[in-house]
Amino acid sequence: MTALVGVSEQGHRRIRRAAFAGHLVEWYEFSIYGVLSAYLASAIFPDQDPAAALALTWATFSIAFLVRPVGGVVLARFSDRRGRRSALLVTIVIMSAATVGIGLVPNFAAIGVLAPVLFVALRMAQGFAVGGEMPSAVPYFGETVRGGARPARSLSVLATGPWVAALAGALLAGVIARFVSPEQMVAWGWRIPFLLALPLGIVAIALRVVAPESDASQAVRQRGPSARPLREALRIAPRAMVWLAAVSLAFNVTIAMCLGGLTSEALLAGLPNEGSIWVSAAAYVAFIAFILAAGRALADVPPARVVRWGAVALAVLALPAIALARTGVLAAVIGGVVLLAIPVALFANPVYVAMSRAFPARVRASAGGLAFNLATAVSSLVATTTLAARNVLGFEYGLVVWAAIGVVGVVAVRRIDIQETRDVDG
């Protein structure tokens, strides 16, 4: 483990608190889009066929993910050269400003085509910011795990952060939808969770301001940071980056199937808009419970083996989950997302461990950021391509194809031993 260079145990606690709280807030701001997608389709995009409006909404969702590799490269380089804490302050400011901006965009009925244009621009800013969050927050947290500790157990707590945040957003949206009419929800109710980004962002910024820089970042700055961290990462750790990219693809494809693919299938089968919120909430609860359980039960199992188990689970459970979603019955759809939460949990902890342990500290954010964000960019196409294949080609098995892509990716890197590339002293 990286040698300690002066951060006290109290400082480590502040780092973990700042990483987790900021991770939670930033992912709340990013994920509420998915929770509210059914209402956004009616509010921001032209009134047309429901399936087409939903497809446009998920296309905008995908745009943010396609921008993530750009944010990942730019902000990860900043993280490797200037420090994790500094990069994380930048990400939370950009994310909070963009999220509040989304909450203030007028509906399509008020300003016409300018509404989706502004919406896409702000969504791209969100994608840029969140692209730098994972590559910095995961090492920032993981670099406080002392030698001899089991990183999967500690990092499983951080890995639940996005889903705790998303659950809070889903519950808030569900409560709002319960007490206002569908027309009011489309007119103004959907804005409330976005506007809450302002006070939440202020809290996250305050926590990150008072937290110290991590030991590893301090050590890198003392020795001299890499002039070109991404180029160096590609030279010294290409196998680890390929492994992380493949596993991250399976991880994010499974998440996209749960939160975008299955939800869209259920909506088209007759699930009410309000039901989609509770499906998302159930998925988040399952993610949190299963990730924590896997982090505790499988802490001593090699990450590569856990990933193989995740691929088997995805191959076995994808079809039953899709069949349940296509009933359009709320309880059945929830059952489908809970099934797919099992492979999500099996992929999650190895991804977080690799991002914090598989690369030298001087290139850690750049290496992990490129691999992870490229995978998320590809996986963001799950809902959009599945809906497009159904609407244009009449092909109804897009989700099956995506599940196969995730499984094949893991199989392709099965011979890469991530332990061989571990170097945390850089």
Query: Cβ–Cβ contacts within 10 Å for residue 3, how many?
Result: 10
Q: What's the CATH number where 201 sits?
A: 1.20.1250.20
- Which residues make Cβ contacts (< 8 Å) with residue 187, sequence separation at least 6? 43, 107
Query: Cβ–Cβ contacts within 10 Å for residue 79, how many?
Result: 31
pLDDT-derived band of residue 1, with 50, 70 and 90 as boundaries? Answer: very low
Q: Residue 130: inside a domain, yes or no?
A: yes
Position with higher pLDDT, 201 vs 2 = 201
Q: Residue 121: inside a domain, yes or no?
A: yes
- Which residues make Cβ contacts (< 8 Å) with residue 133, sequence separation at least 6? 22, 23, 26, 27, 88, 91, 95
Name the least confident of 209-218, 248-257, 365-374.
209-218
In the predicted structure, residue 2 carries a pLDDT above the cut 70: no
Name the least confident of 141-150, 214-223, 263-272.
141-150
Helix extents (H) in 257-272: 262-268
* Domain of residue 159, residue span: 9-421
Task: Find the mean pLDDT for residues 99-111.
Answer: 86
Supply the pTM of this predicted model.
Answer: 0.84
What digits encode the pLDDT tens for the residues 245-279? 999 999 999 998 888 788 888 888 888 877 887 88
In the predicted structure, residue 35 carries a pLDDT above the cut 50: yes
What digits encode the pLDDT tens for the residues 372-414? 999 988 988 887 788 778 777 777 788 899 999 999 999 999 8
Give Dmax over CA atoms of the chain in angstroms.
Answer: 61
Cα 1 from Cα 145, distance rounded (Å) = 8
What does pLDDT average to over the chain? 84
Rg of the chain over Cα atoms, rounded to whole angstroms, equals 20
Report the number of distinct structural domains present in the chain.
1
- Which residues make Cβ contacts (< 8 Å) with residue 258, sequence separation at least 6? 283, 337, 340, 341, 344
CB-based contact 197:29 (threshold 8 Å): yes
234 φ, ψ to 5°?
-65, -25
The pLDDT score that the predictor gives to residue 235 is 93
Q: Residue 320: inside a domain, yes or no?
A: yes
The pLDDT score that the predictor gives to residue 254 is 94
What digits encode the pLDDT tens for the residues 151-171? 777 888 889 988 898 888 878
342 φ, ψ to 5°?
-65, -55
The pLDDT score that the predictor gives to residue 420 is 41
Tokens found for residue 59: 């296309």
